[in-house]
Amino acid sequence: MRKAVVAVAVLTLIAGGVYAWYRAQAPENGPLILYGNVDIRELSIGFRQGGRVTDIMVDEGDDVAAGALLAGLDPVPLRNALNAARAEVARAKASLAKLEAGSRSQEIEQVREAERQAQAVFSSRQLEFKRLRELAQSGATSQQTLDSARYALDEARARLAEVRATLSLLEEGPRVEDIDAASAQLEAAQAQAAQAETAMSDARLTAPSDALVLTRIVEPGAIVQAGGPVLSLALRDPVYVRAYVSEADLGGVAPGTAVVVSTDSSTRQYHGQVGFVSPRAEFTPKTVQTESLRTELVYRLRIVVDDADEHLLQGMPVTVRLAQP
């Protein structure tokens, strides 16, 4: 009987020691452990101009660097539009320069000569009208002849006035309003040309940053609309981990807290920091594989991985370790 009591006491002590060791190894007495998934940002990119796709330079799974050429549009329609816009700029410049330069001296002298001729014709017809009017008073000529002379005199007077008005315009030069209007037309033409140049450059689709090609959405020969998706990319930087923490542990995961991220498929450890803590509580997503957290309210964390590589894949489950305060 005494041996049995001793045996029970020894087993109790052993069980207590095992339990104490287990408690010492539990997360609540060591680094806080969280579970989450890799969150790589994806985007679909396309041309800002519509047209026919001539080239796709990359394939699915290719790594591309920022600025790398990915695809191209048929440039012929865009080049024609650019040439037309540049020609319109040249025409507007010439029109403005003509107004700003004013009339040439040869043009002014030519109109002055026309004025002298018109003045001579007017003076001649004025004398002829006076002579016929005197003859008509004495009955030496008909009323019809006098009327014809009056009409000729009026015509010469109108012609002289017209030439003098033209000469005045040439001597004064263009109006300020005309020059302003021509300047505005030039600016509009230049803006149109700049837009055409931008459209021409948009015929080349480049990578916005280092990325992995996920999907070729269209193939060469396809007609795409402006903004239509052509390729789907996964960005290499930044790489995030989406994890969740309970309210009890919320105080230990302030933004900037250093963390270590590990995966089940590799022994490498990645380093990062907590970048964002959601202010809104939510029920734990099903992807979090910890029984004690499945029914609790938690807060979402966004962890920025500083040294991510190609082995961190979209949606991959990871373990995040960080020290409690």
pLDDT in 10s for each residue of the chain, 325 residues? 454 444 444 444 443 443 333 333 344 556 788 888 888 888 899 999 999 999 999 999 899 999 999 999 999 999 999 999 999 999 999 988 887 776 566 777 787 788 888 888 888 888 888 887 877 777 777 778 877 888 888 888 898 888 877 777 766 666 777 778 888 999 999 999 999 999 999 999 999 988 989 999 999 999 999 989 999 998 888 888 898 888 778 777 888 888 888 888 878 888 888 888 887 777 655 555 555 544 567 888 888 888 888 788 888 898 888 754 5
Which domain covers residue 253, as residue numbers?
29-43+237-322
| 168 and 62, same domain (yes or no) | no
Q: 72 with 54: CB under 8 angstroms?
A: yes
Q: What is the pLDDT of residues 107-129, one digit of tens each?
A: 777 877 888 888 888 888 888 88
Give dist(CA 202, CA 181) in Å, integer.
32
Domain count, the chain: 3
Q: What is the pLDDT of residues 284-307, one digit of tens each?
A: 555 555 555 445 678 888 888 888
Q: 125 with 149: CB under 8 angstroms?
A: yes
Q: 261 with 303: CB under 8 angstroms?
A: yes
- Strand-pairing partners, residue 299, are 245, 281
| 35 and 120, same domain (yes or no) | no
In a domain, 36, yes or no: yes
| 210 and 251, same domain (yes or no) | no
In a domain, 56, yes or no: yes
In a domain, 16, yes or no: no
Burial environment of residue 89 by CB neighbours within 10 A (0 to 12, 13 to 18, 19 or more): buried
Burial environment of residue 225 by CB neighbours within 10 A (0 to 12, 13 to 18, 19 or more): exposed
| 175 and 92, same domain (yes or no) | yes
| 127 and 267, same domain (yes or no) | no
